[in-house]
Amino acid sequence: MSTRISGGTELPAFREDIELATADGLTLVGELALPETADPVATLVCLHPLPTHGGFMDSHIIRKAAARLPALAELAVLRFNFRGVTSPRGTSEGEFGHGVDERLDLAAAMAFVAQRALPNPWLVGWSFGTEVALKYGLEHPIEGAILLSPPLHRTSPEEVAAWAGSGKRLVAVVPELDDYLRPAEAAERFASVPEAELVAVEEGKHLWVGEKQTYRVLSEIVRQVNPEALPLPTEWP
Interval 33-51: pLDDT, tens = 999 999 999 999 999 999 9
Specify whether the CB–CB gap between 180 and 153 falls below 8 A. yes
pLDDT of the residue at 17: 98
Round to whole Å and give the CA distance between 124 and 130: 7
Share of the chain above pLDDT 70, in %: 100
Angle between helices 211-225 and 60-73 (to 10 degrees): 50
pLDDT of the residue at 1: 80
pLDDT at 170 over 90: yes
Quote the domain boundaries for residue 128. 11-229
In a domain, 6, yes or no: no
- Mean pLDDT within 203-210: 96
In a domain, 163, yes or no: yes
Specify whether the CB–CB gap between 93 and 104 falls below 8 A. no
Round to whole Å and give the CA distance between 147 and 201: 13
pLDDT at 219 over 90: yes
Give the pLDDT band of residue 31 (cuts 50, 70, 90): very high
Which tens digit of pLDDT belongs to each residue from 188-201?
Answer: 999 999 999 999 99
In a domain, 71, yes or no: yes
Give the pLDDT band of residue 10 (cuts 50, 70, 90): very high
- Mean pLDDT within 174-184: 97
Share of the chain above pLDDT 90, in %: 99
In a domain, 194, yes or no: yes
In a domain, 51, yes or no: yes
Give the pLDDT band of residue 25 (cuts 50, 70, 90): very high
pLDDT at 214 over 90: yes
pLDDT at 162 over 90: yes
In a domain, 166, yes or no: yes
pLDDT of the residue at 193: 98
Residue 218's identity, in one-letter code, is L
Which tens digit of pLDDT belongs to each residue from 93-136?
Answer: 999 999 999 999 999 999 999 999 999 999 999 999 999 999 99
Q: Report the chain's mean pLDDT, rounded to a whole number.
A: 98
Q: Check which CATH number belongs to the domain holding 68 and give it.
A: 3.40.50.1820
In a domain, 4, yes or no: no
Higher local confidence (pLDDT), 2 or 14: 14
Domain count, the chain: 1
- Mean pLDDT within 203-227: 97
In a domain, 102, yes or no: yes
